Amino acid sequence: MTALLLGALGLTLSLVVPGALAAARWPDRAPAAAVVLWQSITLAGILCALGVVLAAPQELVHELGSGKPVGVAALIAALGVAALIIIRLLVSLAGVTYRSRTRRARHRMLVDLLDDAERHGELPAEVPPGLRVLDGPLPFAYCLPGRNPRVVVSGGALRILDSSQVAAVIAHEQAHLRHRHDLVMESFTAFYRAVPRPLRSRAPLDAVHLLVEMVADDAARRRCGAEPLRTALAVLGDAVSPDAPAEARGDAEQERRRRTARLAGPDGRSLAWSALSVTLAVSLLVLPTVIIVVPWLGRALMAWPF
C-alpha cells in the first residue's frame, strides 16, 4: 500500500502538478516563495520515487510470504536501484555545474578582453565593479554569475536607454547574481536531464526561469522604480545569458509580455500568497513522510530479515 500511495503521489507531482502550477497566475504575486514550492515539488517527487523503490519489494515479499533469502535479495536489489537513482541525479548535477562553470570562465575572459566601459559616458555615476560593456548595435544585457561575477551591457543598450533605465537593468542583473539564480536554474536543469524522457516535463524549468526573472524585476523595481525597468525590458532583446543551459530558456517573448504587464500595475506582491506557498512547500515534504513513510518504516524494520 505504501508503494502504491507513494507512486500515485510521485506521478501526480511529476505529471499533473507542474502543468497546473505553471498555468496558475498567483505565483506572480509571490515569485520567490513559488520557487521554493517548485523546489519542494521536485524534491518530493524524487523522494516518492526512492520510496517506491524501497517499499515495493518489501511489500511484495510480505504479500507473497516468501522466505528470508528472497527478502534479502529484494532488499539488496531495492537498495541498488535507489543508489542508481541518486547517482544519476548527482552525475547530472555535476555535469551541468561543470559545463556551466567552464563556459562561464571562458565567457568572462572574453568580456574582460572586449570590455569597452571607459568609452561610454552613458553609464550611471555608480558603476558596479564587475560591469563590462561590449560594443555593438544590438541592445542586450545579461550577467555572468560565479565567484567573480560580471554584468554585461551592450553599447547598443547604452545608446537607447537613459541612465535611470540602465541603472534598473543593472539592478536586475545584480539581483540575479546576489540571489544566485544560476544555482537554482542549474539544479532544475540537472533534474530535468536526469529524469527519463516519458516522465519529464519542461514546465518546472520554464516556470522557475520566469519566476527568478520576476524576483530580479522586484529587486530592481524596489531600487529604481517600475517605469525605467519596464521601458528597458520592452527595448532590450532576450536578456537571458547566452551561457544559460539551452533548456533553461523559455519562450522569451511570452515571458517578456508577462513581466512587462506585471510591472505596469502596482506592486502586486502578496505576503499571504508567499506564506501559503511556503506552507504548501513544507507540507509537501513533511506530510507524506509522517503519514506514509514513517509508519511503513516502522513495519519494515520489524519485518525485514536482518
- Which of the ranges 121-129, 211-219, 243-251, 271-279 carries the binding residues for Zn ion, by CB under 5 A? 211-219
Give burial (CB, 10 Å; 0-12/13-18/19+) of 98.
exposed
- By CB under 5 A, is residue 213 in contact with Zn ion? yes
135 phi-psi bin (left φ>0, alpha ψ -120 to 50, beta other): beta
**Of 55 and 168, which has the nearer Cβ to Zn ion?**
168
Q: Which x/- pattern, by CB under 5 A, does the window 275-294 give for Zn ion?
A: --------------------
Query: Segment near Zn ion (CB under 5 A), from 91-99, 111-119, 206-214, 286-294?
Result: 206-214
Shortest distance, position 170 Cβ to Zn ion, whole Å: 11
One-character DSSP codes across 126-146: S--TTEEEE-SSS--EEEE-S
Query: DSSP assignment, residue 148?
Result: S
DSSP bridge pairs for 134: 154
- Residues with Cβ within 8 Å of 28's Cβ and at least 6 positions away in sequence, in order, are 214, 258, 262, 268
At closest approach, how far in Å is the CB of 39 from Zn ion? 19
- From 88-96, 216-224, 270-278, 295-303, give the range in contact with Zn ion by CB under 5 A: 216-224
How far apart CA 157 and CA 136 sit, in angstroms, is 9
Q: Which stretch binds Zn ion (CB under 5 A): 4-12, 23-31, 207-215, 219-227?
A: 207-215
Residue 152 CB, nearest approach to Zn ion (Å) = 12
Would you say 108 or 181 has its CB closer to Zn ion? 181
Number of residues lying near Zn ion (CB under 5 A): 2
Please, what is the minimum distance in Å from the beta carbon of residue 253 to Zn ion?
15
What whole-number distance in Å separates Cα of residue 293 and Cα of residue 286? 10
What element of type H or E holds 215?
Answer: helix 203-224
Please, what is the minimum distance in Å from the beta carbon of residue 204 to Zn ion?
Answer: 18
The minimum distance between CB 150 and Zn ion, in angstroms, equals 14
| Grid cell digits, residue 254 | 511570452
Strands 141-144 and 150-154: antiparallel
Q: Which is nearer to Zn ion, 89 or 216 (CB)?
A: 216
List residues near Zn ion by CB under 5 A: 213, 216
